[in-house]
Chains A and B, each alone.
Chain A
Amino acid sequence: MTGFQGYLRPDGRAGTRNHVLVIPSVGCSQMCAQSIARGFKGAVYLPNVFGCGQMGEDRSIVRRTLVGFGMNANVFSVLVIGNGCEELSAEEIAGEIAGSGKRVEAVVIQQAGGTRKAAARGRKIVREMLDEAEKLHREPVPVSGLILGTECGGSDYTSGLSSNPALGFASDMLVAEGATVILSETAEIIGAEHLLAKRARTPDIGRQILAAVAWWEQRAIASGQNIRESNPAPGNIAGGITTLEEKSLGCIYKAGTGSLEEFVAYAVRPTRNGLVYMDTPAHDIEQLTGMVAGGAQIAAFTTGRGTPCGSPIAPVVKITGNRQTYAAMRDNMDMEVASVLRGKETVAEAGRRIFEELLAAASGKPTKAEKLGQRDFAVFKMNPDI
């Protein structure tokens, strides 16, 4: 049985990392959360600026994103820091995360008597949590326990010809072993959505994919922008990508050839194994944040032009098909698959290498983004704040 070395959680899931996570329930408590996490190896915080003043659906998006990070199997235990008068209270978030069976505590600045006292109390809790986290060791976990988030950004001509098809091969290997693979970034399936809809397990899932594309196009037009004129980005065009359809067709290769088993909204955890679709923006960091909130314990990020992107709690393996980018950005790139372009390696061979690298990262091999401390976090919102 193929597998990885992971941390088993009380809810039966397995983490690829063992973080203690400090979540500010509201922007007002972000600095306090940061000052608590700073100085502890193994503790991370989320730079959340929301939690108060969101309208409509945004309230539930912010809540489920923060809760989703706390629930993620890469997190050992959680401290939530609130201010005290916000809409999204620390207790509410802590209560939901506690459903996973992990230790969750909440500290509220107004109740603690100010930032310094709240931070002192928080540091004491984090120290305890880290001591407990150290006692847990990795154990063999089957591949079926993995949720992989797939992403591409800074695409160029190599993305659709090498890195995405190779990642697609690895995605198919993971799906064959029972893992879950998330495909997302709706604006970047435009022009290829009909192909994905045909691969949907049910007609309803196909309709949801087409409706998501229509929503994004309408939404963009309502704000005075034609997605097809602003995307591809200038860097994509310089790299040889002419239209959004071309970018999208190259983009969807990364999820392999499997049937689309489920459609989920932003930051919602898939309930099925296999290939699933999550409706997220194409914005790299908002997309990654949504997939990790949806339970992804690892992500594979293909790029042509190069990107430093990383997650606060999940390893992000960055793969490029562009030899020059790999040479120029060794700090950021984990893997190179440029040999596919020259016919020196087949897509299948490169795909198997990616599969092995993903399992190594899942088992603890630090990614370049982790070495750099690259902890990107941004929540997708539909509306302005009030």
Chain B
Amino acid sequence: MKKAKALVIDVRDNVATALDPLEKGSTVSVDLLGRVERIKLLSAIPMGHKIALTTIEKGQAVVKYGEPIGLATSTIGRGEHVHTHNVASRPRPVGS
């Protein structure tokens, strides 16, 4: 089994964290908690940054640690870099 280069924390997550800087166009092994899947990268991923494991539609929750960490501000393709350019905090009315 090839060593995983990206880490998934919870089975509900739709992103993985890159453990090394990863090149655009390369294929990485992602440890999906026991099952290793290979994902082709649509963008370069700096070390510690996130990769989409599936297509995340605009407005859909980005999930890490099994919890929503924000909403996609544009549709994110599988293998794409997930960060501040395509994710924002969920708006929450004050006092809610």
Classify the secondary structure of A's interface with B. helix
* A31 interface residue per 8 A CB criterion: no
- Residues facing A in B80-96 (CB within 8 A) are 82-84, 87-90, 92, 94-96
> A218 touching B95 by the CB < 8 A rule?
yes
> B89 touching A156 by the CB < 8 A rule?
no
**Digit string of B51-72 for contact with A (CB within 8 Å is 1, else 0)?**
0000000000010110111100
Which residues of chain B have C-beta atoms less than 8 A from A310's C-beta? none
* A237 interface residue per 8 A CB criterion: yes
A260 to chain B, nearest CB (A): 18
The size class of the interface chain B forms with chain A is 20 to 34
* B49 interface residue per 8 A CB criterion: yes
> B48 touching A243 by the CB < 8 A rule?
no
With A192-B67, A218-B94 as given contacts, are A242 and B19 in contact (CB-CB < 8 Å)? no
A45 to chain B, nearest CB (A): 40
What is A's interface to B at a CB cutoff of 8 Å? 156-158, 160-161, 191-192, 195, 214, 217-218, 221, 228, 237, 239-240, 242-246, 249-250, 341-342
> Which 8 A-B pairs rank lowest in CB-CB distance, beginning with the nearest?
A157-B48, A240-B48, A246-B69, A243-B70, A228-B89, A249-B65, A240-B49, A245-B69
Query: 30 A-B contacts, Cβ less than 8 Å apart?
Result: A156-B48, A157-B17, A157-B49, A160-B9, A191-B69, A191-B89, A195-B67, A214-B94, A214-B95, A217-B92, A217-B94, A218-B94, A218-B95, A228-B89, A237-B83, A237-B84, A240-B47, A240-B50, A240-B83, A242-B70, A243-B69, A243-B84, A243-B88, A244-B89, A245-B68, A245-B70, A246-B65, A249-B65, A249-B67, A341-B19
